[in-house]
Structure 1
Amino acid sequence: MSAFALHRQTHELYWFERRAFLETAGYRLRPKFNPEYIPNAGWWALREYEAVHFKSSIMDAHRIVDNKPVMFKTVRSSVHPDEVEIALMFSSPPLAANPRNHCIPILDVLQDPEDAQKQILVMPRFIEFSVPKFDTVGEVVDCFRQIFEGIEFMHENFVAHRDCCYFNIVQDPTLLFPVGYHPIHTWQDPEARNRANHITRTECWPRYYLIDFGLSKKYDPADGPPLEDIILAGDKSPPEHKTLFACNPFPTDIYFLGNLLKEDFLYPPEDSKKARFPHSIRPSLRFLEPLVKEMTLPDPSMRPTIGEVRRRFDELCSGLSEWQLRRPGQRHSFGPLQLIRQLTRTLLRVHPLPRRTLVLSDSGSLELSKTMRDFYTQTQLEKINNGSLPNDLDA
C-alpha cells in the first residue's frame, strides 16, 4: 500500500476503532472501515479507498434504520466545553420548532465508549453553502436572508457564534443534488466517477444552516456587554482581533457576515483577476455595498446589530425588480445556457424568489433599549484595565 494510504489510515484510525460501536448505535460507516474489506483493483477503487476528510474529527456515515446520510463530529469537552450544550439547546424544544432557527439539527449524541471527555455529535449530511455557484441575485438574496435570520435567532437567545465564516454555513442538498454526491469529493457523484448532477437553487430553494459551535458561547445580559479574549477563527481579518486583547463577540459576528458578503460575493477574488479592472465590484450586487460597509466598520461599536442588518437588508432587497433578481449571482455575466435559462423562466413566470412568507421576530421588528443595544455592540474596555477578563490573556 502507498505511503499516502498509510497516512490516511492513521488519520482515520479513530473511526476504524469505533466502527463496531457505531454500528451498535445504529450507524454504518463506508465499507472501507470494515477490517475485512479489501479494495478492488483499479484507479477508481484506490481513489475511493484513499479518500479522507480534511479533519479527523468528522466522518460520514449512514443511519442503518433508513439509510439516511449523516455526519459525525467528535467534541472534546476539555477543548470546547460549551459546544454540545449549545448545539442541543437549539435542537431541543421550544427552539427547535422555531422556523427562524437555522442551527444545524443534532440527531443524536453518542458518548465515546473509551474516552469520557469525548462525545460524537450526529447531524444530517449537508454540503457547503456555495456549491454550486449561485445562479442569480435572487438566490443570493434568499441565502443571506436565511443566514441573517439564523444569526439573529442565535443573538436573540444571547448566543454569539464567534466563527460564522464561509466554512461554517451549509445547505440541505436533498433536492439540489437529486442523485446525491460523494461525501468527500462533493463535486462528484456518490461513486466519484462523474460530476455530481444538480439543479439550480431557484428550482428547489434549499434551506441554509449554521454549524460548528466550538467557539460559541451564551451570555447573560444582566452581566452587561460580554468581553472575550481574542480567539482566531476561520476569518482572521476583524480589526478588533488585531488592535485589542479582548472584544465583544456580537459585533464580530456582524463583521464575519459582512466580510463574507464582501470577499465572496461583492469582490470575488477569482473573478476580479479576470475582470478588466482588478477588485471591481460585481455590478449585480452593488446594491449591498452600503450594508457591507456598515457591517465591516473598523470600530465594532459602530456596526449595526443583527436585527438592524436584517431590516436594512430587507429594505435594500424589497426594491429590486424581477429583472434585477434574475441577474448573475456569483458571476459578472451569464453564459449562453444561463441566459437562455433566465429568459425561459421569465416567459414561464417562474418567480425569482421563494414565495414563502418571511417570518419576522418581535425583537427584530422593534428598536432595542439602550441597555440591550449596548449589550450587543459595546466593548467594556475598563474590564481589561481592571484585570477582570473571563480567561487569562497570557495563556
Structure 2
Amino acid sequence: MGNRPHRPPPGPSPASPDGPASRPDAPGPMLRRGPRPLAMHLLCAPISQPSAGSSTGSNGASPGWKPGSAAPPLPPGIDPAFIAGVAAYRRHPYRRTEPVPPPVLWSYGEMRVLDYGRPGDRPVLFVPSLINRGYILDLMPDRSMLRHLATRGLRPLLLEWGWPSDAERLLDVGGYVQERLEPALADLAEQCGQPITLAGYCMGGLLALAAAQRRPDLVRALALLATPWDFGAASPEAIRTLSRLLGPHAGMMALTGTLPVDALQTAFAAVDPGSIIRKFRDFGAMPQDNPRTALYVAMEDWLNDGVPLAAPVAIECVRDWYGANLPMHGTWQVGATQIQPQCLSLPTLVAVPARDRIVPPGSALPLAALIPGATLLPVAGGHVGMVAGPRADGLLWAPLAAWLLQHA
C-alpha cells in the first residue's frame, strides 16, 4: 500500500507548522493565533473581587478612560497577570525553523516517514499521537530528541500522520494500524533490510503496540513512552469531560468527518483549567529575553498546531477506551486480533512520567506489569517535558538511547 521513496515536493515539509495547506480547512502559517481556542482561555481568566472603592463607567472600563486614548485597563475582577501572560505569548518573536529538513523515506498521501539518521544505523520508527504533530520530538535545534538519538548511532524515523484526507476520515484506530502503520512498517523493514524497532508516544504507543503484536516479524523491539492502557485511572473529571465531548460536535463530525482541533483543545483544558492559569501567569512574569521563554513558546505553538481527529477514531477513543476501558479489560480489537500486551515476546521499554496529567502514571504502569520482561523507566517529568523539556536529555533521551542501543 505504500509507494517507494520519492523526492519531497518543493516548499516546507508537512512536518513544519508552516507547511502548505492542501485542504480548505487546513491551518495556514502559524500567526500566533493561540492559545487555542482563545475564547475558552480568556473565559478561564481567574476572577478576583474588585476593591471596595472601584467603579466602572457604563462601558465597563475605568471611568478615566476616553475613546481614542490608550487601550482601556481591564475591568475590575480580571486577573491582569494571566492576561499579561497570554499577551506576552501572542507577541513573542519566536518562530520555528527547521535547520535541515530530513529526507522522506516513505509516504502515502499526506502521511510521511522522515529519516533523521544514516543508512546502516539501527532503525527506530517513532509513532506519535493522531492528535498532535510529531515534531515535538524535533522541536528546536537544541531540543530535538530525534537528532540527539541520531548522534548515538541510531537511525530515528518519524512518522508524521499529516492532515487527515477523505480516506483517513473513514478510518477507526484499527484502520490506521492495518491500512497505514503496518504497510509503512513493512516497506521500511524491506528498505532497511531488518526488522524495525517501534517507539510509540502517547496514543501512538497504542498503535505501535497493536502493530507489534500483529506483525512480530517486522518488529525487533518496542518502546512505549507515556502510553495509556488503563483508562479507568484517569481522573473522574477527565472521564466526565471526555464523555461529554462528542455530543455538541455531532453535526460538525457528520459534516466534515472529523472532530475539530478546538474541540479537543477545549476538552484537554477543561480537565485542569488551573494549569492553564498558572502557566500563563508564570510566563508573563518571566523576563522575555530569557532563552527559556522561546522553549515555552515553541511548546505552546506545538500544542496549538494540532490536527483534527477522524470521527471514527474520536468515537472509538471516547466510547471504547474512556467509556468501556476495553484495552485494560483485554477486549480491544484491531481486525480479528485482540490486543493483549501479555502476548508480546519482544524486548519492551515502558517509560512512565511521574507528573503526567494527560496519561497519569496509573494508566501507563499496567503495561510494564503485563508485558513479559518489560523494562520500566520512571521519568521525573510531565507528558511533554519528558520528550522536549529543559531536562529531557537527562531524564529520557540518555536512558532511552542506552536501551535502544542494547535492544534495537
- TM above 0.5, one fold? no
Query: Greater relative contact order: 1 or 2 (C-alpha under 8 angstroms, separation 6 or more)?
Result: 2
